[in-house]
Structure 1
Amino acid sequence: MKKIDSIPTGKIERVTKLVSTGVKVGGNYLKYYGEKVVNPNLTKDKLHENNAADIYDGLKELKGSALKVAQMLSMEKNLLPQSYVDKFSLSQFSVPPLSAPLVRKTFKTYFKKYPEEIFDTFSPDSINAASIGQVHKAVKNGNELAVKIQYPGIRESISSDIALVKPIAIRMFNLQGTSDEYFQEVEDKLIEETDYKLEISQSMKVIEDCKKIDNLLFPNYYPEYSSDKIITMDWMNGIHLSEFCSSDASQEERDKVGQTLWDFYMFQIHSLKKFHADPHPGNFLVDKDGNLIAIDFGCMKEIPNDFYIPYFEVSTPDSLNNIAYFKSKLYELEILKTTDTKDEIEFFTNMFHELLSVFTLPIQAEVFDFSNPDFQNKIAALSEKFANDKTLRKMNGNRGSKHFIYVNRTFFGLYNLMFDIKAKVKIKDFEKYLN
């Protein structure tokens, strides 16, 4: 794989790269419509494939928050054409790494020493390269270590990247008139992810709180070999969760991994009220004994009680069967507004009732089988229905508290991982870990 010697960090450089990517996408559309004149039966499959490749190629050179957007979109399997999902999934743990000279320079800049001055051995070639940093293997006093190095200039470019993405997001998701707090929430989380000292403290806290969960393992972290741009932790042996999902693992093995993952998230959400908000397969490994290994805690989301309580109350069967009570919870969650018209209240009440009636099926069950495609198909059908809803397009899509952004992202990401694992899990099993 080609290595990168520099990353565009200035606003002009990054805008230029995005503009050039847009020109390529525009060319793809012109080519598609030209060919469609000759062949009216031509589908958009090739167009989607070309656009996905050009967009990903542009984002992977920018890295940082721009590439993080692709990573987040890769989890939205029901919202994007498959060609985009396939291409953007590469951003989870397979993008062009920094060259060895730039790695040494980065290490010297942020740690005041070259890596070989700290470790007994240090591999100049990265093992994994993702959106914010890349991982190298090292050895110290006989211990195998993973050293994550943050790309230079990533934190400094976040605000400008968000400013570039904002008008596109407003148009794509019908957020006209939206509050800046939505975008501020995303920006704040991305800035937190670039604070490696914060990540180490969060990681060590999660490990302490969740070590009681069966079949769940974590690396040890080494603050003495870390800085605000470098994290050193144990090297953990295992395969990425995506590899496990595509393997010939037995149903018993799948159920074990799936149960551990489910318990891990439910315990964090319901006990700690703070959880790992980046559930993609690049953040998890599975070892030879079927233990789940969690290796990245850069993105953590805290749920305040005034959101947590109505969020889960609105999802109960009693709420779904009592429209007046259901509607009161929608107001608490800022989905309905006191300024809404009668038509808006009726439309969004019916819409969210239909969504939650499907979305909450797993958490209302005693045992849920994620290998059954019915649930996934129902979500996909709803996504397609609302994507093509002309009434919804005319209405202001700015709905709900800012906390929905990462809470919903986490549930959608968790569901997608559970679909891929194809596990049957006991939904309330996590309660045995509660105090």
Structure 2
Amino acid sequence: MKEQQSIPTSKVARATQFVKTGVKIGGNYLKYNVKKMVDPNLTKEQLHTDNATDIYDSLSQLKGSALKVAQMLSMDRNVLPRAYVDRFQMSQYSAPPLSGPLVVKTFRNQFGKTPGELFDTFEMQALNAASIGQVHLATKDGKKLAVKIQYPGVANSISSDLKMVKPMAVRLFGLNETDIERYMGEVESKLLEETDYELELKRSVEISEACAHIPDLVFPAYYPEWSGSRILTMDWLEGQHLKDFLLTNPSQEVRNKIGQALWDFYDFQVHQLRQVHADPHPGNFLMRADGTMGVIDFGCVKVIPDFFYDNYFALINPDTVEDEQKTQAIFYNLEFLVNEDTEADKRMFSDLFKTMIGLLGKPFAVDEFDFGDETYFDSVYAFADELAKVEELKNSKVARGSQHGLYINRTYFGLYSLLNELKAKVKTTKPEWLISKKKIEV
């Protein structure tokens, strides 16, 4: 992969890159419209492919928050056409890496030393390059180490980048402008945390130690002496990302074993720690033939407020939804419903959210769930498609749902997607208070 010699860091340089991308997208639409005149049956497939390529190429040069948003959107198969999902998934671990001189400069700025002076060996060619940083292989005293280096200027460009990417997301992907305003606010706060490697070091140690008892999970040790605000050093973990792992044709037993480890990992974090690794994309997990799995990258951690937790997860218990008065109160607490709603609005949005809760809570309603069941995922995607057509939602001037739900919803969607790719059957453990009393009595 061709190395990147520099990253635009000034607001003007980054804005210019966005403008260039907009011009290319405009040209793609022009080409599409001309071809459409000749062939009225022409689909938008090529248009989506061209746009996805141009946007990814541009954002991968900018790195940072704009590329991170693309990565997050690629986890959601319902928001984007397939061409965007396929292309944006590359941002998880295949963005163009920084050149050697930029890597050395980052080390000098951080430690006053080159990587060669700190480590016994250091591979100057990055092995993985994503949206916020890239990873190099190093050794020290016989240990293999993964050294994550943050791209220059990423932290300082978050706010301005998100302001520029917002209109692109609204127009190109048809997202609700009111919802995306709140979405961007939550994303910005999390991205600022992700660029703080000292915070990531602290959380990595705390969460990995707390989850060390969970079977089949492997966590790296972290090294504060070789870490700082822009560099993070940890043990090198062996394993494969999901796509490559599946190409080895693992047995159903191994798939189930890894799937169970994933479910148990998130179950413990959410319900016991009340903070969660909120970036469950394939680039953050390393899967192995023996059914064990390495977990890396605690940059994006969502701390779950008690008030939100109590209300959000109460809806998972079917007994709650059967209690209309209690459900309505929770809908207001979680901002699914607002005081300005008419009676018709309340009925419509209540019905929508009850259907959504029923679908997303289905794995919690049984003791064991088969995430390889495509009929379940087809029903989820079909509901999402219908949701996208609801004019009242598209044109709403009110953002629906607590901002805390953005990363929790995305966490569960990412988890479900991983388990679906694995075709795993897992025991869906959960706190007893989430289980229907009717089920316990039976």
After TM superposition, the score normalised by the length of structure 2 is 0.94
Percent identity over the alignment?
Answer: 51
Deviations 1:141-162 (A, max 9, x none): 1111111111111000011112
The answer for the alignment partner of 2:155 in structure 1 is 155
Residues 222 and 233, structure 1, Cα contact 8 Å, conserved in 2: yes
Q: C-alpha distance in 1, partners of 2:355/2:180?
A: 26
Aligned residue for 1:239, secondary structure, equals: coil
The answer for the alignment partner of 2:53 in structure 1 is 53
* TM-fit CA distance, 1:174: 2.1
Q: What are the equivalent positions in structure 2 for 1:352-431 lying under 5 Å apart?
A: 352-396=353-397, 398-428=399-429
Q: C-alpha distance in 2, partners of 1:394/1:179?
A: 12
Deviations 1:23-53 (A, max 9, x none): 1111111111111111111111111111110
Deviations 1:368-427 (A, max 9, x none): 000110111011101111112233323235111110111111011111111111100000
Residues 14 and 62, structure 2, Cα contact 8 Å, conserved in 1: yes
Q: C-alpha distance in 2, partners of 1:123/1:421?
A: 32
* TM-fit CA distance, 1:163: 2.0
* TM-fit CA distance, 1:124: 0.8
Higher alpha-carbon deviation: 44-53 or 240-249: 240-249
Equivalent residue letter for 1:392:
L
Higher alpha-carbon deviation: 7-16 or 334-343: 334-343
The two structures, once aligned, show a CA RMSD in angstroms of 1.6
Q: C-alpha distance in 2, partners of 1:167/1:42?
A: 27
Residues 166 and 180, structure 2, Cα contact 8 Å, conserved in 1: no
Query: Given the superposition, is the C-alpha separation of residues 180 and 76 from structure 1 closer, same or farther in structure 2, using an over 3 Å criterion?
Result: closer
Q: Is it true that 1:332 corresponds to 2:342 in the alignment?
A: no
> Among residues 151, 176, 186, which one is paired with 1:174 in the alignment?
176
Q: What are the equivalent positions in structure 2 for 1:311-330 lying under 5 Å apart?
A: 311-330=312-331
The answer for the alignment partner of 2:184 in structure 1 is 183
Q: C-alpha distance in 2, partners of 1:395/1:180?
A: 13
Q: C-alpha distance in 1, partners of 2:277/2:126?
A: 25
Query: Given the superposition, is the C-alpha separation of residues 211 and 43 from structure 1 closer, same or farther in structure 2, using an over 3 Å criterion?
Result: same
* TM-fit CA distance, 1:308: 0.2
Equivalent residue letter for 2:112:
K
Query: Given the superposition, is the C-alpha separation of residues 369 and 89 from structure 1 closer, same or farther in structure 2, using an over 3 Å criterion?
Result: same
Q: C-alpha distance in 2, partners of 1:74/1:111?
A: 35
Aligned residue for 2:137, secondary structure, equals: strand
Residues 18 and 164, structure 2, Cα contact 8 Å, conserved in 1: no
The answer for the alignment partner of 1:7 in structure 2 is 7
Q: How many residue pairs get matched?
A: 430
* TM-fit CA distance, 1:286: 1.3
Q: C-alpha distance in 2, partners of 1:168/1:33?
A: 20
Higher alpha-carbon deviation: 386-395 or 48-57: 386-395
Residues 277 and 406, structure 1, Cα contact 8 Å, conserved in 2: yes
After TM superposition, the score normalised by the length of structure 1 is 0.95
Aligned residue for 1:296, secondary structure, equals: coil
Equivalent residue letter for 1:11:
K
Q: C-alpha distance in 1, partners of 2:243/2:220?
A: 19
Aligned residue for 1:42, secondary structure, equals: coil
Equivalent residue letter for 1:214:
P
Query: Given the superposition, is the C-alpha separation of residues 364 and 63 from structure 1 closer, same or farther in structure 2, using an over 3 Å criterion?
Result: same
Aligned residue for 2:2, secondary structure, equals: coil
* TM-fit CA distance, 1:301: 0.6
Q: What are the equivalent positions in structure 2 for 1:202-351 lying under 5 Å apart?
A: 202-351=203-352
Q: C-alpha distance in 1, partners of 2:344/2:265?
A: 41
Q: C-alpha distance in 1, partners of 2:282/2:310?
A: 29
Q: C-alpha distance in 2, partners of 1:271/1:15?
A: 43
Aligned residue for 1:233, secondary structure, equals: strand
* TM-fit CA distance, 1:182: 4.5
Residues 74 and 89, structure 1, Cα contact 8 Å, conserved in 2: yes
Q: C-alpha distance in 1, partners of 2:410/2:400?
A: 15
* TM-fit CA distance, 1:131: 0.4
Query: Given the superposition, is the C-alpha separation of residues 179 and 233 from structure 1 closer, same or farther in structure 2, using an over 3 Å criterion?
Result: closer
Higher alpha-carbon deviation: 69-78 or 339-348: 339-348
Deviations 1:332-379 (A, max 9, x none): 111111222222212211111111111111111110000110111011
Instruction: Give the unaligned 5+ runs of structure 1.
Output: none
The answer for the alignment partner of 2:33 in structure 1 is 33
* TM-fit CA distance, 1:15: 1.1
Instruction: Give the unaligned 5+ runs of structure 2.
Output: 433-442
Residues 334 and 399, structure 1, Cα contact 8 Å, conserved in 2: yes
Aligned residue for 2:393, secondary structure, equals: helix
Residues 250 and 289, structure 2, Cα contact 8 Å, conserved in 1: no
Q: C-alpha distance in 1, partners of 2:265/2:229?
A: 27
Query: Given the superposition, is the C-alpha separation of residues 248 and 412 from structure 1 closer, same or farther in structure 2, using an over 3 Å criterion?
Result: same
Aligned residue for 2:358, secondary structure, equals: helix
Equivalent residue letter for 1:354:
T
Equivalent residue letter for 2:81:
P
Q: C-alpha distance in 2, partners of 1:328/1:179?
A: 25
Equivalent residue letter for 1:262:
W
Q: C-alpha distance in 2, partners of 1:170/1:35?
A: 25
Residues 284 and 296, structure 2, Cα contact 8 Å, conserved in 1: yes
Q: C-alpha distance in 2, partners of 1:321/1:247?
A: 45
The answer for the alignment partner of 1:79 in structure 2 is 79
The answer for the alignment partner of 1:18 in structure 2 is 18
* TM-fit CA distance, 1:181: 5.8
Query: Given the superposition, is the C-alpha separation of residues 321 and 83 from structure 1 closer, same or farther in structure 2, using an over 3 Å criterion?
Result: same
Q: C-alpha distance in 1, partners of 2:338/2:64?
A: 35
Higher alpha-carbon deviation: 182-191 or 332-341: 182-191
Q: C-alpha distance in 1, partners of 2:183/2:176?
A: 13
* TM-fit CA distance, 1:103: 0.9
Q: C-alpha distance in 1, partners of 2:182/2:378?
A: 33
Residues 79 and 384, structure 1, Cα contact 8 Å, conserved in 2: no
